[in-house]
Chains A and B, each alone.
Chain A
Amino acid sequence: MRIQFRCNGADVQVEVEPDTRVIDLLREHLGLTGTKEGCGRGECGACTILLDGVPVNACLLLAGKIADREIVTIEGVAGADGSLHPIQEAFLDVGAVQCGFCTPGMILSAKALLDENRTPGVEEVEEALSGNLCRCTGYGKIVDGVLEASRRLTEEPDRGGE
C-alpha cells in the first residue's frame, strides 16, 4: 500500500506492506536509523518517536497508522542548520548520555513532555520517561538533563519551540 505522512517536517510518500512496522519503515525504507530497536515488544522505549506530538513505540505501530499524520524522529530534533535542541545540549552538559542507545527515545519522550509542560516537576519527568529504560546511567543525570533543558527553554523560549 502507498501511504503519505509528514516526517521531521517533510512530506513523505512510501510504498509498504500493510504489516510493516513503523520502526522498519523508518530504518529500512527511509534510512532513519536513529530510532533504535531494543526489545521489539514496547518494553524498553528505545524506539520512541512522536506521533502528532505524542510519544509512541515505533516497534508496536503499523505503517498504516501514521498515514496522513505527522511524526518526529531523533533526526528531526536538532535544527535544520545542525543547531542542537536544548534537550540535546542539556543531556551533553549534565552527562545524561553513556552508551547512547536509549538516548534518542529518551530525548523524544522528554521533548513530548516539555512541549506540553515547560516546567515539569521531578515526578512529572519520571512519569514521562517511565517507558524508557536505560541500563547505563542510573537515570539521575537523565532527570537532571530534562530539568536543565526546562530551565533553558524557560529562559530562552524561542529555542526548541514548536
Chain B
Amino acid sequence: MDRMSVIGKHVRKVDGLELVTGQAKFSGDYRFPGMVYGAVKRAGVPAGRITKIDVEPARKVPGVVDVLTAKDIPGPNLIGVLPPFDQPLLAADEIRYAGESVVLVVAETAAAARRAADAVSLSIEPVEPILTLDQALAPDARKIHENGNVTLSKKLIKGEVKPAFESADVVVERTYETSFQEHGYLEPETVCAIPGRRFTLYASCQSPFHIRGHVAANLSVPASRVQVVQASTGGSFGGKDDVATEIGALACIAAQRLNRPVMIAHERKESIVGSNLRHAARIEIETGAMNDGRIVARRIRVLLDGGAYASESPFVTMKTLIHAVGPYHIDHVEVESTSVYTNKTYCGAFRGFGVPQVTFASESQIDELAEKLGIDPLEIRRINGLKAGDPNATGQVYEQSVGLLETIATIADQPAPPKPAETDRYLYGTGYASLAQGISNGAEGVDVTGASVQMSQDGSVLVGIGLTELGQGSRTVWSQIASEVLGVGMESVSVRLVDTDAVHDSGPTVASRSTTVGGMAVYKAATEVRKSLVSMAALMFQTEEENIELREGFAILKMDDSARIPIPNVATAAYWTGFPLMNLAFSKAPDANFDDETHQGDIYIAYNYGTHRMDVRVDRLTGEVKVLHHVAAHDVGRVINPLGLEGQIEGAALMGFGFAHMEKIRYVDGIIQNANFADYALPSIKDRIPTATLAVEDPNPTGPFGAKGAGEPPVAATAAAFANAVADAVGHRFTRLPITREDILEAIRGRNDG
C-alpha cells in the first residue's frame, strides 16, 4: 500500500457538520419527559469531620423532590481508578477537601436544585488541614487516609549514579516547582440518567466503560444493567474521568429512587473546585556531565501534590518516574517519584500526565548545563539524544522510530528570525526543549482495544470502537484508516457513537493511544473485511487474489486499471456468497515487562519524540512576553491527518504556554480563590502563539501505517521551551511555573539591582 488515497491527506473532520450547525447533542442538550435536576452541597472547608447535616431547609425549597446523603448510596459509595478505591461519591464522615460533595439535592429545575443545595446546613468540626508536601510528609503528620499520606512511591535505578557523579567534570543541581493547572474545557461536566430495569446514562466523558463499572457498583447492580452512551463531549484533556463517574453514579442513584430522568450539570466553579487538576510538583534534579557535553549521570526526586484522593496519582507517579530523565542516553540514573495526599482538590489525568512538570525541570537543567559548559543548547541535546539502538532510561531499546535527532536537525535547519538587540524596552531570548513521551498505557496497565468494522451491501462502512472522540479528531483518523484499507471514499465511512451496549471495552481514552492502539484495531478489523472483498472480487474476475486491489470505490485488476467492479457489487456478492463483511479485531500492546524495584525493562510500545524552538520578546516595563516564533518538530511515525495533527500540536502548545506563563490555581487556606474564567486566566485569542508544526516521520512498527500518537507531548515541550526562552531573554533561571509577568518583573528588577 504505497500509494495512499486518504492516509496523510487533508480531510475534513468527519463529525464537524453537526458541530458548526449546533445540531450535535452534548449531554446538557438531552431532554426527557419528567426530567429533574441534581446539584450538590460541597464541604466548603478543606478538612474536618461532619457532625451534623441539616437537610430540612433544602426540602422546604419549592420544587425539591429528593435529598440524598451518603447513607442513601446503595453500593460502596466509592470511586477511583485503582483498587482499593478511596473516593466517596458523597462524604459520609471525614472531609478531605473543600470541593468535596456531601449532599445531593434533586429538584424540578436546575435553579431550584442549586438554591436548595445552598440551603443545606453542614456542621463540620474542622481539623488543621494539610496543605503542603512538607506538612503531608512530616513524620508526625495526621493521616489523610488510613494508609498514610503517600499515595505511591517508586524508584527507577539504572547503573550506579554515585561513582558516575564523582567522575563528572561538572555537576548542576536545582529544585524546580510547578503549579496546579485546570483543564478548562469549555463544556462543564454533565450527565443525564434514565432509570429502568436497565439504566441509560448519557455522559460527557472520556472512558465510558470505567463509568459503567462504578455506576453499576454504586447502584449495586451488575454492569450489564448499565448502558453508558457518550454524548458529544466538549473537551476533556484527561479531566472527564473520575468526576464523570461521580456525577454519573449520583444521577443514576437519584433516577432509581425517583423513577425519573435526572440531569446533573456542573457549573464552572464546580468544574474547577470539584474535579481533578494537574498535579503540582516539586522536582529536585542533579545532572553530571563531562566537559565534552556528554551527560554521565542524573539523579531526580519528584514529589507530586495529588490532593485529597488517589485518582490517577499512581499512574502519574509512574509516568514522571519514567520520563524525568528526558530523551537522553544516560548510563547512570536514579529517580524517585512520590505522590502524596493533601487536603486540596484531587489531582489526576491531564494532557501530558506528569510529563510537562518533569520536562520543565529536566530541560531547564539541560540549558543550565549547556551554559556552564559553553556548548550550544541544541548541540548538547544532539550529543546526548537517543538514537535507534540506544537504551533509554528504563533500558528499553527501540530499533526503529526513534526520530529525536531528526527533530533536532529539523529545528536546526529552520530559518529563524535574527535575534534583535536589547532595547530600553525589550529583551529577546531563544529557548529549546526536547522530549520523549511514551505512547499508550505501557507500565500503567494492560492495553487492549477492540474495534469492529462492518460493511453493508451498499459498500458503506460502520466502525465501532470503545475509545472516545473528545475533539481530538480520532473518529476522523479511524475513518481514514478504514477508508484506506477498504478502498472506499471517506463519505462511505461512519463511526458509531460510543455506547457500552454496542462497542467493545477498549480501555480508557488516554495516553495518546487512540491513533496508535485504537487505529491498529480498526486496521486489523478492516483488513479482515478486505480479505472477503478481495476473495469475492477474485472469484468475479476469475483470477488470483494477488491480482486485486481495492481503491477509489472499486475492486480493480492490477494489470488493467480499466477492469473495475464497484465495491457495492463486490460487497453484495460477498454477502450472498456468505463471506463475512464484519469483523471484531483486537489490538493488544505487548505486555510491559520490567523490574518493579528498578523499573528497568520494556515499558511503552513507542515514544513520540519532539524538539521545539521558541523566540520571545520580554517587555521590561510590564513583564509581558510575546512569542515571536515557535516551531514544534515531532516524530509522529506517520501523519494520518495533517490538519488534525496541526490542530493537536497547536492546541497542546497553547495549553503548555498557559501552564508556563498564565495559569495558576490560587489557594488560600485550602480554598481555591479563582474558580472562574475571569480570575483563572485561560489563554484567549489575544494570547495565542504562532506555533508551526513540523512533522518528522520515522515509521512506528506498532502503529497503523506507522503512526504514533501526538496529542500530549507538545504541552511539555512548549512549556519547557518557553521557560528557556524567557531565561535567555532575562538572564535569570526561573525555577517555578508559571513564570508570570510579576515573576519576570521581579527578576528584571533583581538583575538591575545586581
Q: Measuring CB to CB, which residues of chain A are less than 8 angstroms from any residue of chain B? A: 27, 31-41, 43-44, 46, 73-75, 77-78, 84, 88, 91-95, 97-104, 107, 126, 129-130, 132-143
Of A27, A38, A142, which is in contact with the most chain B CB atoms at under 10 Å from its CB? A38
* Contact A36/B676 with A98-B647, A130-B685 known, Cβ cut-off 8 Å: no
A135–B682 touching, CB < 8 Å: yes
Q: Measuring CB to CB, which residues of chain B are less than 8 angstroms from any residue of chain A? A: 12-13, 16-26, 28-29, 31, 183-188, 232-235, 237, 267-268, 470-473, 643-644, 646-647, 650-655, 676-678, 682, 684-686, 688-691
Q: Which residues of B contact A95 (CB under 8 A)?
A: 13, 643-644, 646-647
* Contact A78/B21 with A138-B688, A139-B685 known, Cβ cut-off 8 Å: yes
Q: Which residues of B contact A137 (CB under 8 A)?
A: 647, 650-651
B186–A88 touching, CB < 8 Å: no
Q: Which of A33, A39, A78, A100 contacts B16 (CB 8 A)?
A: A100
Residue in A closest to B645 when the chains form the complex, CB atoms: A95
A interface secondary structure, majority: loop
Q: Which of B21, B22, B232, B682 contacts A133 (CB 8 A)?
A: B682
Residue in B closest to A93 when the chains form the complex, CB atoms: B12
Of B12, B234, B650, B682, which is in contact with the most chain A CB atoms at under 10 Å from its CB? B234
- Could you list 9 examples of A-B contacts with CB < 8 Å? A34-B21, A88-B20, A98-B13, A98-B471, A99-B187, A133-B186, A135-B185, A138-B688, A140-B691
Extra pairs beyond A88-B21, A98-B13 (16, CB < 8 Å):
A36-B28, A36-B187, A38-B186, A39-B268, A43-B678, A74-B22, A75-B22, A91-B16, A98-B235, A98-B471, A101-B235, A135-B183, A137-B651, A139-B654, A141-B647, A143-B688
Of B21, B23, B186, B677, which is in contact with the most chain A CB atoms at under 10 Å from its CB? B186
Q: Which residues of B contact A97 (CB under 8 A)?
A: 13, 16, 19-20
A138–B650 touching, CB < 8 Å: yes
Shortest CB–CB separation between residue A146 and chain B, in angstroms? 10
Q: Which of B25, B187, B473 contacts A38 (CB 8 A)?
A: B187
Residue in A closest to B25 when the chains form the complex, CB atoms: A33
Q: Which residues of A contact B21 (CB under 8 A)?
A: 34, 74-75, 77-78, 84, 88
Q: Which residues of B contact A27 (CB under 8 A)?
A: 29
Q: Which residues of B contact A43 (CB under 8 A)?
A: 268, 676-678
Q: Which of A33, A40, A136, A139 contacts B268 (CB 8 A)?
A: A40
Shortest CB–CB separation between residue B439 and chain A, in angstroms? 20
Cα separation A138 to B26 with both chains bound (whole Å): 22
Cα separation A77 to B23 with both chains bound (whole Å): 12
* Contact A100/B646 with A36-B187, A88-B21 known, Cβ cut-off 8 Å: no
Residue in B closest to A75 when the chains form the complex, CB atoms: B22
Shortest CB–CB separation between residue B400 and chain A, in angstroms? 30
B677–A100 touching, CB < 8 Å: no
Shortest CB–CB separation between residue A102 and chain B, in angstroms? 5
B686–A130 touching, CB < 8 Å: yes
A46–B186 touching, CB < 8 Å: yes
Shortest CB–CB separation between residue B690 and chain A, in angstroms? 7
Q: Which residues of B contact A35 (CB under 8 A)?
A: 22
Residue in B closest to A145 when the chains form the complex, CB atoms: B20
Of A33, A100, A138, A140, which is in contact with the most chain B CB atoms at under 10 Å from its CB? A138
Q: Which residues of A contact B28 (CB under 8 A)?
A: 33, 36-37
Shortest CB–CB separation between residue B224 and chain A, in angstroms? 30
Residue in B closest to A133 when the chains form the complex, CB atoms: B682
Q: Which residues of B contact A139 (CB under 8 A)?
A: 654, 685, 688
B23–A99 touching, CB < 8 Å: no
Q: Which of B23, B26, B267, B682 contacts A36 (CB 8 A)?
A: B26
A99–B22 touching, CB < 8 Å: no
B647–A136 touching, CB < 8 Å: yes
Closest 4 CB pairs of A and B: A34-B22, A99-B471, A100-B19, A101-B234
* Contact A134/B186 with A41-B676, A44-B677, A101-B26 known, Cβ cut-off 8 Å: yes
Q: Which residues of B contact A107 (CB under 8 A)?
A: 20
* Contact A136/B235 with A38-B186, A77-B21, A101-B186 known, Cβ cut-off 8 Å: yes
A126–B22 touching, CB < 8 Å: no
A141–B646 touching, CB < 8 Å: yes
B186–A73 touching, CB < 8 Å: no
Shortest CB–CB separation between residue B268 and chain A, in angstroms? 4
Cα separation A91 to B470 with both chains bound (whole Å): 18
Residue in A closest to B653 when the chains form the complex, CB atoms: A138
Shortest CB–CB separation between residue A128 and chain B, in angstroms? 9
Q: Which residues of A contact B186 (CB under 8 A)?
A: 36, 38, 44, 46, 99, 101-102, 133-135
A92–B12 touching, CB < 8 Å: yes
Q: Which of A34, A103, A104, A129 contacts B685 (CB 8 A)?
A: A129
Q: Which residues of B contact A37 (CB under 8 A)?
A: 28
Residue in A closest to B204 when the chains form the complex, CB atoms: A101
Q: Which residues of B contact A98 (CB under 8 A)?
A: 13, 235, 471-473, 647, 651
B471–A136 touching, CB < 8 Å: yes
A40–B267 touching, CB < 8 Å: yes
Cα separation A84 to B17 with both chains bound (whole Å): 9
Shortest CB–CB separation between residue A110 and chain B, in angstroms? 11
Cα separation A137 to B237 with both chains bound (whole Å): 12
* Contact A133/B677 with A37-B28, A88-B21, A138-B691 known, Cβ cut-off 8 Å: yes
A41–B678 touching, CB < 8 Å: yes
Cα separation A31 to B690 with both chains bound (whole Å): 39
A91–B651 touching, CB < 8 Å: no
Q: Which residues of B contact A134 (CB under 8 A)?
A: 186, 685
A135–B646 touching, CB < 8 Å: no
Q: Which residues of A contact B20 (CB under 8 A)?
A: 84, 88, 91-92, 97, 100, 103, 107
* Contact A104/B470 with A38-B187, A39-B677, A130-B684 known, Cβ cut-off 8 Å: no
Q: Which of B12, B188, B685 contacts A143 (CB 8 A)?
A: B685
A41–B268 touching, CB < 8 Å: yes
Q: Which residues of B contact A33 (CB under 8 A)?
A: 22, 25-26, 28-29
B17–A39 touching, CB < 8 Å: no
Residue in A closest to B267 when the chains form the complex, CB atoms: A40
B685–A101 touching, CB < 8 Å: no
A103–B19 touching, CB < 8 Å: yes
Cα separation A45 to B8 with both chains bound (whole Å): 34
Q: Which residues of B contact A140 (CB under 8 A)?
A: 650, 688, 690-691
Q: Which of B31, B185, B646 contacts A101 (CB 8 A)?
A: B185
